[in-house]
């Protein structure tokens, strides 16, 4: 039985006031949540304060990125050990916005994944195809390359302590969502690819869907066999919407 994870990627949004309001609403609505892991991934500058605020409660904290290096002359970067020290449990690696804007390639993402785990963090590895890849019939090729780079660098056993997020790039922040059939097809592909290396690791692996998941489409996606939660962008800034998604994930467990 895989416990679903619903993680909110706040991206570059928030302020101390806005964070306080959002977290206070989330603590109110998710304080008693059971059977679902919930996390928020705020901008790095707020992590320590938010991790303190949420400490001891059901909502974990994750970072949005980490360095592939342990320490040293890497101006502006944050080591996994620093994120762990201030209370992070998770870190997103390979988000498509970073792959695009910071030119993070598969090898770099794999190195970040390895560094994050070495620091005791659980990486949430993002994979997903561009619109042109889907239209050109290359979805599986692209996702396989992204996944294999990390499987080769980290070894399949590393996925016992990791989460994958399938995020079709054309669905992120666009309001377009993969249909449940499209999402399930890629999720099953990812699980089968990991199973090719170790069936038990694949069976236990949580694969989240991300891409315009909202309160009104979450249940349909979360009901699918290989979808084990969501990585939520825009809707994670709205306490009611994010809580509704987390509760929908919990209802799937109960069903
Ligand atoms: C994301 O950026 O990880 C994401 C899923 O964003 P949105 O939910 O806004 O599409």
What tens digit of pLDDT does each residue of 9-49 get? 999 999 999 999 999 999 999 999 999 999 999 999 999 99
Q: Which of 98, 231, 242 to mutate to test the pocket of ligand 1 (most atoms within 8 A of CB)?
A: 231
In this structure, is residue 135 part of a structural domain?
yes
* 0.85 surpassed by pTM: yes
Q: Single out the residue in 64, 87, 106 at which a domain terminates.
A: 64
The verdict on residue 94 lying in a domain is: no
- 151 & 228 share domain: yes
Output the average pLDDT for the chain. 97
Q: What is the rounded distance in angstroms from the CA atom of residue 93 to the CA atom of residue 99?
A: 9
Q: Which residues of 89-127 are buried (b: 16+ CB within 10 A; e: fewer)?
A: bbbbbbbbbbbeeeebebebbbbbbbbbbebebbbbbbb
Q: What is the CA radius of gyration of the chain?
A: 17
In a domain, 38, yes or no: yes
- pLDDT in the model for residue 254: 65
Q: Cβ distance 164 to 204 under 8 Å?
A: no
Beta bridge partner(s), residue 163: 124, 206
**First vs last C-alpha separation in the chain:** 13
Please tell me the distance between residue 205's alpha carbon and the centre of ligand 1 in angstroms: 21
What's the gap between Cα 93 and its chain centre?
8
Q: Could you give the number of structural domains in the chain? A: 2
For residue 171, give the ligand 1 atom closest to its CA. 10
Assess if residue 250 is contained within a domain.
Answer: no
Mutate to test the pocket of ligand 1, among 127, 167, 238, 241 (most ligand atoms within 8 A of CB): 167
The per-residue pLDDT for range 209-235, each reduced to its tens digit, is 999 999 999 999 999 999 999 999 999
Q: Is 103 among the annotated ligand-binding positions?
A: no
**108 annotated ligand-binding residue:** no
pLDDT tens, 165-213? 999 999 998 988 899 999 999 999 999 999 999 999 999 999 999 999 9
pLDDT at 255 over 70: no
pLDDT digits (tens, 9 = 90+) for 132-162: 999 999 999 999 999 999 999 999 999 999 9
In a domain, 175, yes or no: yes
Q: Which residues line ligand 1 (CB under 6 A)?
A: 9, 167, 172-173, 210-213, 231-235
Based on the fold, state whether residues 138 and 59 are members of the same structural domain. no
Q: Catalytic site residues?
A: 95, 167
Helix (H) or strand (E) holding 5: strand 5-9
Higher per-residue pLDDT: 248 or 253: 248
For residue 110, being part of any structural domain is answered with no
Query: How many residues in total does the chain contain?
Result: 255
Query: Per-residue pLDDT for 253 more than 80?
Result: no
Residue 157 burial by Cβ neighbours in a 10 Å radius (0-12, 13-18, 19+) = exposed
> 236 a known binding residue?
no
- Please give the residue range of the domain that contains residue 46: 7-64
Q: How far is CA 80 from the centre of its chain?
A: 16
Q: How far is the CA of 12 from the centre of ligand 1 (A)?
A: 12
Same-domain check for residues 59 and 134 = no
In a domain, 183, yes or no: yes
**Is residue 12 assigned to a domain?**
yes
Given this model, what pLDDT does residue 143 score?
98
Residue ending a domain, choose from 46, 64, 82: 64
Same domain, 139 and 228: yes
**Same domain flag for 54 and 136:** no
Residue nearest to atom 8 of ligand 1 (CA): 233
The reply to whether 11 sits in an annotated binding site is: yes
Q: Are residues 228 and 148 in the same domain?
A: yes
């Amino acid at each position: 039985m895989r416990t679903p994870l619903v993680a909110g990627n706040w991206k570059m949004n928030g302020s101390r006031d806005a964070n306080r309001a959002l977290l206070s609403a989330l603590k109110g609505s998710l304080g008693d949540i059971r059977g679902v892991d919930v996390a928020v991934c705020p901008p790095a500058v707020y992590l320590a304060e938010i991790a303190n605020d949420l400490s001891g409660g059901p909502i974990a904290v994750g970072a949005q990125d980490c360095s592939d290096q342990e320490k040293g002359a890497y101006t502006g970067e944050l080591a996994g050990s620093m994120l762990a020290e201030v209370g992070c449990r998770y870190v997103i690696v390979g988000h498509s916005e970073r792959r695009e804007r910071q030119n993070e390639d598969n090898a770099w993402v794999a190195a970040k994944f390895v560094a994050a785990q070495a620091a005791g963090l659980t990486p949430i590895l993002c994979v997903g195809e561009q619109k042109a890849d889907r239209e050109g019939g290359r979805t599986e090729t692209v996702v396989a390359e992204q996944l294999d780079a990390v499987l080769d660098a980290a070894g399949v056993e590393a996925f016992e302590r990791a989460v994958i997020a399938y995020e079709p790039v054309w669905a992120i922040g666009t309001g377009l969502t993969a249909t449940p059939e499209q999402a399930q097809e890629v999720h099953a592909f990812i699980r089968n690819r990991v199973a090719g290396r170790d069936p038990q690791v694949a069976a236990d692996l949580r694969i989240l869907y991300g891409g315009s998941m909202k309160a009104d489409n979450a249940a349909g996606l979360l009901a699918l066999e290989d979808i084990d939660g969501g990585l939520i962008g825009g809707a994670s800034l709205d306490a009611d919407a994010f809580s509704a998604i987390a509760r929908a994930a919990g209802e799937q467990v109960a069903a």
